[in-house]
Structure 1
Amino acid sequence: MKTKLYNILNKPYAVVLVMLIAPLFGFIDRNFVFFFGLGIAFLLLKGSKFEWARFGIGQRISGKTLVRSLLLALALFTLFYVIIDPILQLWLGDFDLSSINDIRGNFGGYVALMIIMWVFAAFGEEFLFRGYYMKGLAELLGNSNKAWILAALMTSLYFGISHAYQGLIGAVSAFLWSFAISLIFTKNKNNLLLLVLIHGIYDSIGITLIYLNKDHLILEWVQQLF
């Protein structure tokens, strides 16, 4: 039974079926959408006898990777927090941060959220959305450069919709951010851990600003410019 299930999930088109079925679990709880896809990805990983390279984890973390991840995370932070997100907020309103607002000034909540973020957002989302969904779609579409770009676009739309709980601006911003980091993956197909670090560092800065209640300062500065 386990072998048959693995063989079915191992089919090239299975990634599309998983992406279509996963949102149905949103009627139960939005988190189930993520954990269903992640569960399938780990079943495939286990069935392949933990062939991590299949999901883009073919390189270990090196000093070079650490430096690149820090620089790219800071670049993305500047692009989104200082330019894109404040402009989007002028048109689409504020992000719905009700799910994490309780960490403001709450050190225990801040530490807990940081741990959860690194495990489930930085590693979990990159493993699922880039390592499984995007890589699987790219290979299904022919594994060409155009296929990878199309897979990046499709995965980013999916990623953006999955963040709709943050409001329309959350979905749009997540789509644009996902597309940016997906383009990085197209150039580093065998180094998913680079994206994990970028994602973790980027979110760590954002969460820290929320904890310090300083996340609104950049928006106010941009509004003054306009």
Structure 2
Amino acid sequence: MTPEPIQKLSRRGIAVEIAAFVGFALLAKYGLSLIFWRYAGPVSLLLTLALLTLDMRGRGLRWSAMGLIPLPGWKAKLMVLPKAGVTLLAFAIVVALVTIVGPAIGLAFLAKESADIADRWGAVAGSLPHFLLWIGIVWSAAAFGEEMFFRGYLITRLQALFPAGRVGAMLAVLLSALIFGYGHFYYQGWRGAFVTGGIGLAFGTMFLLFRRNLWPLILLHGVIDTLTFTAIFMRWK
């Protein structure tokens, strides 16, 4: 699938643009992590999206060109649910392959969860203010933010950078997934990087199969993370 061009730039110009926004996101996260590392990822991503939105607006572009497509009528809105269900199946398969099959074939590091995860989210258990704070982060920076940046923006722009056709589409999904996985390494370690990278592959593939429709991914991402934090808050094992 070849995306419609969203701006008249050479491939070198597109590469510079992508590197600039990805670089800003990573550098901002590093800088903010020195101040409040628990929230460095969400805040840096929202800052990146704000700058990206301003840049797009200056060029007469909208997020509808990168996945936040209009859903006219009830049929289009209701179709988000089965598409989210298909994405959930892909999500489950990827997570099972990494966390169950991986250790079973000797990749022991995939069985070890980083201690920083508990340190980052431990305050949520039994604390309503922390729970509500993270639910707000889930729907803003994770569900909308990560899907808009890593799937909507990155895959769309990488497709414009790589040759048209299936190979270019596969490279776009793969590279965006690698960046997505690396973005979670700082607190989830190698296991988390592989899990989130795999999720990036699954979500990126669905993004293209759904003709660059972000809504099923946003819905599923938000629901999964909400259930995860609910389990932490309720101290469910």
> TM-score, normalised on structure 2?
0.75
Letter aligned with residue 25 of structure 1: A
Runs of 4+ in structure 1 off by over 6 angstroms are: none
State, as a whole percentage, how many aligned pairs show the same letter.
Answer: 24
Is this contact kept in 2: 1:103–1:110, CA < 8 A? yes
Q: How far off its partner does 1:208 sit?
A: 2.1
Structure 2 equivalent of residue 221 of structure 1: none
Gaps of 5+ in 1: 1-5, 218-226
User: Please, what is the CA RMSD of the aligned residues?
Assistant: 2.9
Q: Give the match's secondary structure for 2:113.
A: coil
Structure 2 equivalent of residue 15 of structure 1: 18
Q: For the structure 1 residues 24 and 51, does the alpha-carbon distance in structure 2 shift closer, same or farther, using more than 3 Å as the test?
A: closer
Q: Give the match's secondary structure for 2:212.
A: coil
Q: For the structure 1 residues 103 and 73, does the alpha-carbon distance in structure 2 shift closer, same or farther, using more than 3 Å as the test?
A: farther
Letter aligned with residue 223 of structure 2: I
Structure 2 equivalent of residue 53 of structure 1: 64
Structure 1 equivalent of residue 120 of structure 2: 99
Query: Does residue 1:199 correspond to 2:202, yes or no?
Result: no
Q: For the structure 1 residues 21 and 114, does the alpha-carbon distance in structure 2 shift closer, same or farther, using more than 3 Å as the test?
A: closer
Structure 2 equivalent of residue 213 of structure 1: 235
Q: Give the match's secondary structure for 2:68.
A: coil
Q: Give the match's secondary structure for 1:62.
A: helix
Kindly provide the CA deviation profile for residues 71-126 of structure 1, in whole angstroms up to 9, marking residues without a partner as x: 23542554356563355578221143121121112233222211210111000111
Is this contact kept in 2: 1:104–1:213, CA < 8 A? yes
Kindly provide the CA deviation profile for residues 25-64 of structure 1, in whole angstroms up to 9, marking residues without a partner as x: 3441253652453233212332244523221222326011
Structure 2 equivalent of residue 142 of structure 1: 163
Q: For the structure 1 residues 136 and 167, does the alpha-carbon distance in structure 2 shift closer, same or farther, using more than 3 Å as the test?
A: same
Query: Does residue 1:169 correspond to 2:171, yes or no?
Result: no
> TM-score, normalised on structure 1?
0.78
Structure 2 equivalent of residue 186 of structure 1: 208
Query: Does residue 1:68 correspond to 2:98, yes or no?
Result: no
Q: Give the match's secondary structure for 1:117.
A: helix
Is this contact kept in 2: 1:16–1:137, CA < 8 A? no
The number of aligned residues is 208
Structure 2 equivalent of residue 153 of structure 1: 174
